[in-house]
Structure 1
């Protein structure tokens, strides 16, 4: 990709809830001279976001494009080396932009947590992007960077120690944060699609739904996405993790894209930690019931209408105070082929879905724009681990997030 394009990075959806947070992060973190533009459907709204930014960012150009106008998206993609999109639900609005970037040879990153969207994007643009050299990188937020990078680091450490491939990997997530209308709208879009085409239910339920070669996948049994409440050996209770059904498929895609580098017998699962004792047990049971009820209501049109009036609307999200108080911590335990054990920890301050996600997406964008010569030599439809790898780990550590791996003594019991 040549430097004749006027921009290094364009943020599309800059006036949305997450878009504003990503713009603020880029304004603080992008090196001087990085050519950044804001883009969206409304020039006025993007200009309003720009006025809130510090320093030189107030001079960033504003571009307009509409997800329903392929010509405007093609023009937008052709002006930049990297295009970052926060415009969802991606299943409804995202495919034309991904295709425009793939055809233009423009690197792309998004925040999607939608299995059906990623599967359709793979089928539509992977071959095109490989030909043009574009890196199409999905899931560059709390979905699914901590999961994806932690597993990569575990596999690298085990390989360096000669411990053999990963066999059993389990992530336990704990976090504090709020809810966004955009996230709920993305879940609604996927549920509606499955309701309209029952064949899609099999895609969503397939643990290898995002594999580059489904027929070549091993028959290793995978954990249930909606694992029932469980008490671990050290007395901690866990409940289903709402993001497990997406994150796990991203991790498995990363494994396959690297020639099953993590191990062909990899079993990977995720749950949410709810604490110890009676309070932990009650929280696990309540969380399980709440998730089942919410997904059931979203799947039933009459109940969906009632739920829509109660849940946050698209374009809204947690308050600044809630975002500031938030945090996330993901502990990932792995056992290797020779029985050795390792533990990865990914953690950070800020509401995981918004403040922390803005850091993750912003740093992913900067890695694509500025670190091309250090990134893995891959193109096509990729994952954070396969497109950005250790470069993104370095960036996130520098931004204040924790990514570490330690060997666990065989005598130590339980998980953190």
Structure 2
């Protein structure tokens, strides 16, 4: 489909914390030929953001759009090839922009780690986007690019070596330094409220295949838990230490499983996937692992109970809050994804990057996802609908992230 638009990319929510970081990244790193705009509710605030960007952004247009005004979102969607949305929680504020982009044939990326929002987006707008040619791509930040692209490059290497399908596969957050965002906390808070009030939402939230395009066709692989405490040797021979549950695993695992299903189970019908985080190799690591697991449970329980929720709301980061520039720059992450193939071979894929995972590194991942969709169209997979980073962007995103300084590799282990 040939599309003529005034802009290549619009950053919607550019006055928010991650929106500003994404605009800053694009102003520094996007090719000068890229036509970029800033969108939000306030002209004055958008102009203030624009004035603080690299001088190359001085002429970026400003677009007024509001989540409560569907007409403005439609106008936003038809103005650009790609819309970046940083306005969450997406279950509250995001679905009408998905509608607008799906109807207009406009590609869309966001930071959502919200499974219920993803399911609603699929149910309501996947076929609409297929018909229009739009790529609707959720989870283009730390949720869930290291997971989804990590398995993508792992599968490519295994296939190139002729070593069959992926079977038991585990992502380990090997190292990470960074803070949790207020937006993530707000999304968790919204999820807790929704599943308490709606039993059907609760069933979706706990289903390991909740984002599947064809639930009836998914393989029966038994219990797949999002809360795992493992020895390193349970994951791969020679891997030491202990692991604890990973906060984002409940979203990331479902995104990766959706990629497998959208590719007609190309990773394998016996592909089992889980995520954990390393807590080290000291004699106290089992205690640390138990503490992390208990802490995650306490957070969810605390947000569900009125008196403790009031106290947590006073100390947890608020939406729009985040670490300062020095803290963002000192952050980093490394994820290692281990697999055993159907031939018995063992492989590992690594993604590593500098910068706070939820802020600095996420701005790179989100920005490069949008740039790939806008400028690398000939290199993209032939796909449309509500997709995933791997199925919508794939190798084009791998190439861009490597050029931006990310380490992305896969090898026999």
TM-score, scaled to structure 2 = 0.97
8 Å CA contact 1:230–1:239 kept in 2: the answer is no
- The CA RMSD measured in Å over matched residues stands at 1.2
1:68 aligns with 2:68: yes
Q: What is the deviation of 1:47?
A: 1.1
Aligned partner of 2:176 in structure 1 is: 175
Q: What is the deviation of 1:223?
A: 3.3
Query: Helix, strand or coil: the match of 2:151?
Result: helix
Match of 1:331 among 315, 330, 336: 336
Closer/same/farther in 2, CA of residues 104 and 3 from structure 1, 3 Å limit? closer
Q: Give the 5 Å matches for 1:39-118.
A: 39-118=39-118
Once residues 240 and 30 of structure 2 are traced to their aligned partners in structure 1, the CA distance between those partners, rounded to angstroms, is 44
Aligned partner of 1:213 in structure 2 is: 214
Q: What is the deviation of 1:37?
A: 0.2
Q: What is the deviation of 1:231?
A: 5.4
1:369 aligns with 2:374: yes
8 Å CA contact 1:376–1:386 kept in 2: the answer is yes
Once residues 300 and 78 of structure 2 are traced to their aligned partners in structure 1, the CA distance between those partners, rounded to angstroms, is 39
Aligned partner of 1:198 in structure 2 is: 199
Once residues 167 and 379 of structure 1 are traced to their aligned partners in structure 2, the CA distance between those partners, rounded to angstroms, is 27
Once residues 272 and 232 of structure 2 are traced to their aligned partners in structure 1, the CA distance between those partners, rounded to angstroms, is 20
Q: Give the 5 Å matches for 1:131-170.
A: 131-170=131-170
Q: Give the 5 Å matches for 1:13-24.
A: 13-24=13-24
More deviation, 188-197/251-260? 188-197
Match of 1:343 among 336, 348, 353: 348
Aligned partner of 2:304 in structure 1 is: 299
Give ranges in structure 2 of 5+ residues lacking alignment: none
Once residues 222 and 100 of structure 1 are traced to their aligned partners in structure 2, the CA distance between those partners, rounded to angstroms, is 38
Deviations for 1:220-254, whole angstroms, at most 9, x for unmatched residues?
Answer: 13531011364546431110000111000000000
TM-score, scaled to structure 1 = 0.96
Q: What is the deviation of 1:190?
A: 1.2
Query: Helix, strand or coil: the match of 2:58?
Result: helix
Once residues 170 and 2 of structure 2 are traced to their aligned partners in structure 1, the CA distance between those partners, rounded to angstroms, is 42
1:7 aligns with 2:12: no
More deviation, 327-336/153-162? 153-162
Deviations for 1:183-231, whole angstroms, at most 9, x for unmatched residues?
Answer: 1001111111111102211100000000000000000135310113645
Aligned length: 408
Deviations for 1:339-367, whole angstroms, at most 9, x for unmatched residues?
Answer: 00111001100000110000000000000
8 Å CA contact 1:237–1:280 kept in 2: the answer is yes
Query: Helix, strand or coil: the match of 2:411?
Result: strand
Deviations for 1:136-184, whole angstroms, at most 9, x for unmatched residues?
Answer: 0011001000110111111111111111110110110031101221110
Q: What is the deviation of 1:302?
A: 2.8
Once residues 337 and 18 of structure 1 are traced to their aligned partners in structure 2, the CA distance between those partners, rounded to angstroms, is 41
Deviations for 1:94-145, whole angstroms, at most 9, x for unmatched residues?
Answer: 0000000000110000000000000000001000000000000011001000
8 Å CA contact 2:14–2:20 kept in 1: the answer is yes
Once residues 53 and 223 of structure 1 are traced to their aligned partners in structure 2, the CA distance between those partners, rounded to angstroms, is 45
More deviation, 261-270/192-201? 192-201
Q: What is the deviation of 1:5?
A: 1.6
Q: What is the deviation of 1:318?
A: 1.4
Deviations for 1:270-301, whole angstroms, at most 9, x for unmatched residues?
Answer: 00101111243332222122111111111223
Match of 1:353 among 353, 358, 362: 358
8 Å CA contact 2:11–2:39 kept in 1: the answer is yes
8 Å CA contact 1:229–1:238 kept in 2: the answer is yes
8 Å CA contact 2:229–2:276 kept in 1: the answer is no
Closer/same/farther in 2, CA of residues 203 and 3 from structure 1, 3 Å limit? closer
Q: What is the deviation of 1:312?
A: 1.1
